[in-house]
Amino acid sequence: MEGAENVFMSGKRKEIIIGTRGSELALVQATATEGLLGAKFPETGFVRNIIRTTGDRRTDVSLADVAKAEGTFDKGVFIKELEEALEDGSVDIAVHSLKDMPTVLDSRFKLAATLERAPVRDVLLMKFAGGVEALEEGARVGTSSVRRAKQMEFLRPDLKILDLRGNVPTRIRKLAEHDDYDAILLAEAGLVRLGFIPEIAPSGEETVEGFPDVYAVRLPENEFYPAAGQGAIGLEIRAGDEGAEAYAKSINHLDTWIRVGAEREFLRLLDGGCHTPVGVYSSLDGGEIHLCARVFPDEGGTPRTGEAKGVDPIAVALELFQSLK
């Protein structure tokens, strides 16, 4: 990637500024990005700029209400300020949880790369072992995700779904130390990256590191569909910034890029974004992509489902969209 170095050196810039949110998970993701870039470009300095986003500021109401109140609906309550930092030059590469990014970006910005994907499943954390079936009728399940709420209601309409905000450790403490929730739903990727559960699930009952009375049940993605892009880290740049794009692309993970590209194209065809209750998962085997989706109507009721296979991610996304029934 000598070209990337030349672009920056010619402008007398010897460093790249990495933008990130300040949550523990976001910082872990930024550290991973900086580590990969630093290994590729040991002569370049990578400086971190921590940005507080709308979603970080507004923890008093649900994410859907935050988006509406702040005028950022379908634009990502966790990326607005990072994009402003990209635009004014105080950040060169913004690091995101890809599932938080809107399907279609403003023309001023570009998704340049994705890192290797972590596990994509959702995890049910409980005060006892057993999984979804073990929850008593009327049990209270906490989540900030409309998708997770809709799927849990679909699987267990007798449960009570409650809003749950805060970073990952805060949410686990709310379950472990208070009586407001009987269970909560979180992404497996975040729990793994923060060291709360191992990447490979142990046999038998599984508890959460540091919370011996909290049990973790990993929900199979073909039963509890994850969000598009879940488990992937996305690198966003200013459109036309060839130097930043070269840096980002040097650490792009191709298999992840193909899979999330298909998932996000399906969302685009749906005209859906990061607040749309859609579950979609993919696999890549020998160059063939397999996509499955579950789309929930906003007004409730039975979701539409579909699946498709092929080698062209864009064509497979279209086939999946047309297969919905």
What would the pLDDT profile of 50-98 be if each residue is shown by its tens digit? Answer: 998 765 554 544 445 544 444 444 446 678 899 999 999 999 999 999 9
Name the residues annotated as catalytic. 100
- Judge if 102 and 159 occupy the same domain: no
pLDDT of residue 63: 47
Residue written as token pair 């990447």: 199
d(CA 247, CA 19): 14
Q: Look at the chain and report how many structural domains it folds into.
A: 3
pLDDT of residue 165: 85
Is residue 258 in some structural domain? Answer: no
- Judge if 6 and 109 occupy the same domain: yes
pLDDT of residue 74: 45
Range of the domain at 44: 2-115+231-252
* Residue 212 φ then ψ, to 5°: -65, -15
d(CA 243, CA 3): 8
pTM comes to: 0.89
pLDDT of residue 55: 56
Is residue 259 in some structural domain? Answer: no
- Judge if 11 and 109 occupy the same domain: yes
- Judge if 109 and 132 occupy the same domain: no
Closest CA to 126 of 239, 211, 248, 233: 211
CATH number of the CATH domain containing 199:
3.40.190.10
Is residue 257 in some structural domain? Answer: no
Residues of the chain with pLDDT under 70: 1-13, 54-77, 272-275
Contact 56, 23 (CB under 8 A): yes
pLDDT of residue 79: 87
pLDDT of residue 56: 55
